[in-house]
Amino acid sequence: DQQVKQNSPSLSVQEGRISILNCDYTNSMFDYFLWYKKYPAEGPTFLISISSIKDKNEDGRFTVFLNKSAKHLSLHIVPSQPGDSAVYFCAARRPMIKAAGNKLTFGGGTRVLVKP
Amino acid sequence: NAGVTQTPKFQVLKTGQSMTLQCAQDMNHEYMSWYRQDPGMGLRLIHYSVGAGITDQGEVPNGYNVSRSTTEDFPLRLLSAAPSQTSVYFCASRTFSGNTIYFGEGSWLTVV
């Protein structure tokens, strides 16, 4: 039972255009969402996050949108650059319970290729 | 500024062999965890620890053991390796209340 899904395994976009990555979740208890970026042979690195009390968070070229009623979030990269070519994971967190330590649930990832 | 360090980076095991993946962090993080990454499956939590002496199971704990004798170290043991454990393993850490997880560079394990 995948609680966090990224339905597009891959995305190809031209340099300078917008990349839109989508993520759907099923657990309404999730209260915090994160996007991670992963290059080959490296560990994932944190990119941007959003709390469930917001519907948008922006950091430079990266913007995350959250639609709680649809249980959907998206990551927009504008403009896309060749260095953005990587695998992107969305992740979701339930409210922190002391013993559980607020574990993250990850989606399957979307591989983005930005063509020069 | 080491962050999260994992060793070894690559390992080939024969079915039935045992081994330990090492993980150390120098950020004094309370929370440490192990994930495995398989194609199309994302990152799945194997085991985690909220502090020294405390460990618990994640989504896919079978075939793996962990211990947390110090804040810094969180080794992952494969007691009897199986081909299904061929994967990329990531160790991660964060402060207990923090939102951002910091990952190691990964350990590529092949079981033949």
**Residue A101 predicted with pLDDT over 60:** no
**Residue A102 predicted with pLDDT over 70:** no
| Set of chain A residues whose Cβ sits within 8 Å of the Cβ of B58 | 103
| Set of chain A residues whose Cβ sits within 8 Å of the Cβ of B57 | none
Q: How far is B54 from chain A (nearest CA, A)?
A: 9
Contact, B81 vs B75, CB < 8 A? Answer: no
pLDDT above 70 covers a percentage of chain A that reads 93
Cα–Cα distance for residue pair A4/A17, rounded to 1 Å: 26
Contact, A66 vs A92, CB < 8 A? Answer: no
- The whole-number pLDDT of residue B22 equals 98
**pLDDT tens digit sequence for A41-73:** 899 999 999 999 999 999 999 999 999 999 999
pLDDT, average across residues A68-79: 97
- The whole-number pLDDT of residue B99 equals 76
- The whole-number pLDDT of residue B68 equals 96
More confident residue, B52 or A100: B52
- The whole-number pLDDT of residue A91 equals 94
- The whole-number pLDDT of residue B87 equals 97
Region of A101 on the Ramachandran plot (φ > 0 left; ψ -120 to 50 alpha; else beta): left
**Residue A19 predicted with pLDDT over 70:** yes
A interface with B, Cβ–Cβ below 8 Å: 4, 6, 9, 32, 34, 36, 41-46, 49, 89, 91, 93, 96, 98-101, 103-104, 106-109
- The whole-number pLDDT of residue A96 equals 65
**Residue A34 predicted with pLDDT over 80:** yes
Contact, A4 vs A55, CB < 8 A? Answer: no
**Residuewise pLDDT in 10s, chain B (112 residues):** 569 999 999 999 999 999 999 999 999 999 999 999 998 788 999 999 989 999 999 989 999 999 999 999 999 999 999 999 999 999 999 887 777 889 999 999 999 9
B3 touches chain A (CB under 8 A): no
Contact, A84 vs A19, CB < 8 A? Answer: yes
Name the token pair of B73.
């170290």
**Residue A97 predicted with pLDDT over 70:** no
- The whole-number pLDDT of residue B53 equals 93
Name the token pair of B83.
């081909």
